[in-house]
Structure 1
Amino acid sequence: MNTKEYIASGILELYVAGSLSEKENEEVYAAIQENPELLVEIESIEKAILQLTAAAKKDIPYSFNDIKDQLNSEEPKVITMPKPNIKQYLGWAAAFILGSTLILSVLQNNILKEQLAIEKEQLEEQINKSSNSLAEAEKLIEIFRDKDIISIPLAGQTVSPTSYAKVYWDKKTNSIYLDAKGLPEPPKGKVYQVWSLKLDPLTPTSLGTLDSFTTDANKIFTIDNGNESEAFGITLEPAGGSLSPTLEQLYTLGTVAS
């Protein structure tokens, strides 16, 4: 937190008002020692409270000039101090309470403004995400409708017969779009790995792992593929992937129509 944010937080007003815990007082004191700007702000706050207190006073019962006149007089130098004025003290106390209340009110207002700013930022972020998701969805629709895109369904295999996926292969851009919505959540410590396959002889080439499978809501992945693929498969592998597919954990498989 920079100096401006620290001052705007209102903690200095609470420090002057004596509303902080002992630990918080120590932290503020240490911050003041390190930053002269905070000391200036503290003095400004104290001055404002003194001005509020002074505003509550009525008539000053004596002055320094009165005392000076008595000292210069030839009569016995007996200086009569005014008797305590309980109404005056109550006025000062009321002024101090008023000042503290105003400070707390300003602090609460600042906190509310900060909360509203945070909520506004979060809302804007959600709107941006929604806009980006819509743009991505529209782009995918255009891709899937392209007549030159090859669609390859991947059927479930022995280890998971109900699993399914689909590959959309764009040979012009050497990339595939994998719709993996039909795969179950992988167990902890496991990850799905995508393979490009040549069938004769069977030669697998890894296209990478789906590391963001759990966090990706749409389960659609864009993957580079410059291979002359004859089939695609998805296996479940240890985190980090494998050099060759674990066939016992082959979840889906599909061949490219000739």
Structure 2
Amino acid sequence: MPLKLREWLQNDFGIPVAASSTVTVFALANVSSNTAKQSSSVRYFDVAVGDVGVGRMIFRLFDDVLPVTCENFRALCTGETGLGYWLRPRWYQNTRMYRIIPGFMCQGGDFNFGNGGMGESIYGQFMRNERFAFSHSKRGVLSMADAGWEHSNNSNFFITFGPQKHLDSKHVAFGAIEHGMEVLDAIEKVGTIGGKPKRPVIIHKSGELNVDLLRREAIEANEGLPLGSEEYVERSADSWGNPDPEIDDDDVYCMPERLTMPDQYSPVPDHLFRRAKAQWDNQL
């Protein structure tokens, strides 16, 4: 395996890989290729601390490996599924980060009561742990916050402030901050040891952006600059959200699968499915 790829797997995801190891890797060629269809859009939060906007966080989701979990987060970013069980919008917009512990993580996603007690997935109240494919090995990892028992994921999520490997195989990490780490810094500053924020932290806007449109806007913003010049590259990166202009789109890798997923996969925990089916059968 190439040295660069081994170091990436080791440093970013905490996976030790021998030089002779063979790992299946999904390479993303460009946004128009079939392998990159799920990466043609980015998900974002616009965050305010108190009454001051502190910026936008853009997330990269590992939807090629965790499609069920990532679709839940994506749909809750856009609010497209409408009202939930408590007749409140299933939407992250205008919700709070209700738990912030410096050095550990910030938690949000409860659009029902705003305290983490009543989250709700797009598949029902709870959804199962899809797969423990990624490590909480760095700052900015996006992961599912459950209700305290197995297969109780809902709309609640958390973002790490640093490596938290003790959470591996307990919580499903399904994405990471790709741009806007300074927003995470601002969130961490208002945290407390007990978790109650010093000031309200609000996701005042959430949604999905089309990468192709962002690229076109970047090109328009660079009219008149020499193609390939340093200023052109830097302005292009700033315009569509790439934090590092040195990163080549052709050199992006997704996490290799480590578990085999069944062809027919239900996000609903087995015991809830059996209970609902039994109740339905008794009504016939």
Q: TM-score, normalised by structure 2?
A: 0.20
Q: TM-score, normalised by structure 1?
A: 0.22
Higher RCO (CA 8 Å, separation ≥ 6 residues): 2
More helix by share: 1
